[in-house]
Amino acid sequence: MRPEEIIDLRSDTVTLPTEEMLDAIRRAEIGDDVFREDPTVNRLEKIAAEKMGKEAALLVTSGTQANLVSLLSNANRGELVILESESHIYWYEVGGISAIAELLPWPIKSSLGALAPEDVEASIRPKNIHFPRSSLICLENTHNRHGGTIVTPNQIKAVSEVAQKHGLKLYLDGARIFNAAVALNADVKEFTKHVDNLMFCLSKGLCCPVGSLLVGTDAFIEKSRKMRKILGGGMRQAGIIAAPGIVALESMVNRLEEDHRNARRLAEGIAKIGGIQIDLSRVQTNMVCFDVSDMGITADLFTSKLKQKGVSALALAKNKVRMVTHRGIEKEHIEKSISAVESVSHELS
Ligand SMILES: Cc1ncc(COP(=O)(O)O)c(C=O)c1O
C-alpha cells in the first residue's frame, strides 16, 4: 500500500496546509520579528489576543514551547505547580517542567480531565518553612490523554475561584480549545475569561504547518517574549508562519464540527465490533480512544495489524488505541476505518 493511500488517524497534527494558507504564505509581508518588525506576526498576535479576550499574544514554535515559556513566566524556580496527572505537560514534554523550569509538579487525578476544586485546594501547600510556595495551576482543554474531553467553562470557573482565593495563577494548555468551544457551541472567551493566561495551537485541527500562541496580559507576554528568546525561540521572518495562522483563525475554526461528527460516527461504528471496549461518553470532540484487551492483543500489535489494512492509529498505552479525525478525513474514510477494525477483530476471534 502506498503511503498516500493510508488513512492516517494518529493525530490531527498530520494535517497539511490548505491552498489558501499556501497562497497566504507566498504573499505574506515579512520583517524581523525579534525587532518586532514582522507585520504579519504582529497582526496574528493582535487577532489572537482579541479572540481570546486578553491584552496580548506571542507566536511560539510549538505547543510544548508555549507550555514551557508559560511555566517560566508564571512561576519561579523551586515553586509548586498543580496539574492534572495525565496532562500533556506532565507526560509528554520531556520533563521540561523540572529539567528546565526547575519547578515541582504536583499531579492530581481528575474526572475526564476536569480537576475537582476541592482536590486543587487540598494540594495547595500552606505557608510553612518546609513547603515550597504554590504558585500555579495548569488545566488542559480539550484533554488529550482522556480522549479529547472537554473541561466546561463552569469547571474552569470553579478552579479559578480556588486560585484567586489562594493567590495562585491559573494557566490553560488550550492546544485544542477551539474544539471545546465548537463542541459546546460557545464563544472561546467563555473558557478563557476564567484563566490568567493560556496557549492554543495552530498546528493541530486548524491545519497550520507550525505554530502556537501564548495569550495573556501585556506584562505576561512581555516576560514570555524574553523567555522565548532564552529558549532559542525568537524567530526572524516568522510572517510565513503567521500568515497561515491568520487564515486558520478566520476560516478553519467552524469546520472542526465536521471532525467531531466524524469522530462520533467512527466511535459508534467501532463500539459494535466484538473485542472493543469503548466509553462513548468520552467521545466529545475529535478523538476516539478504545481498549483492545478483550482481543487478547496489545495496542502495538493491534495498530500494526490495522496498518496492514490501510489505517494508521496510535497505541496510547498497553491496550489503549487512539484515533483522531481531522481535515482530509471524510465520511468514506470513516466507513473504511470501521471495516478495517472489524476485519482485525474477525482475524483474531
Ligand atoms: C494538550 C496538548 N498540549 C500541548 C501539546 C504540544 O504541542 P506540540 O506538539 O506543538 O509541541 C499537545 C500536542 O499534541 C497537546 O495535545
Mutation choice for ligand 1 from 64, 138, 191, CB with most ligand atoms inside 8 A:
64
Q: Is the CB of 63 under 6 A from ligand 1?
A: yes
User: C-alpha grid cell for residue 233?
Assistant: 525561540
Determine the average pLDDT of the residues in 228-244: 98
Ligand 1 touching residue 64 (CB < 6 A): yes
Distance CA 244, CA 17 (A): 8
**89 CA → ligand 1 middle, Å:** 8
Q: Is the CB of 201 under 6 A from ligand 1?
A: yes
Q: pLDDT for 116-157, tens place per residue?
A: 999 999 999 999 999 999 999 999 999 999 999 999 999 999
Contacts of 339 (CB under 8 A, 6+ apart): none
What is the residue-wise DSSP string for 99-117? HTT--EEEEE--BTTB--H
Grade residue 34 by pLDDT with cuts at 50, 70 and 90. very high
Give the three cell numbers for residue 25. Answer: 504564505
φ and ψ at residue 139, rounded to 5 degrees:
-115, 165
Q: What is the model's pTM?
A: 0.97
Residue with cell string 515559556: 69
Report the nearest-CA residue for atom 5 of ligand 1: 63
C-alpha cell at position 230: 532564552
286 lines ligand 1 (CB under 6 A): no
**Percent of the chain scored above 70 by pLDDT?**
100
Kindly calculate the radius of gyration of the chain based on its CA atoms and give it in whole angstroms.
Answer: 21
Confidence of residue 3 (pLDDT cuts 50, 70, 90): confident
Verify whether ligand 1 is closer than 6 Å to residue 8 (CB atom). no
Q: pLDDT tens digit string along 109-126?
A: 999 999 999 999 999 999
- State the distance from the centre of ligand 1 to the C-alpha of 60, rounded, in angstroms: 12
Helix, strand, or coil (residue 150): coil
- Beta carbon of 244 within 6 Å of any ligand 1 atom: no
Task: Please give the grid coordinates belonging to residue 317.
Answer: 498505552
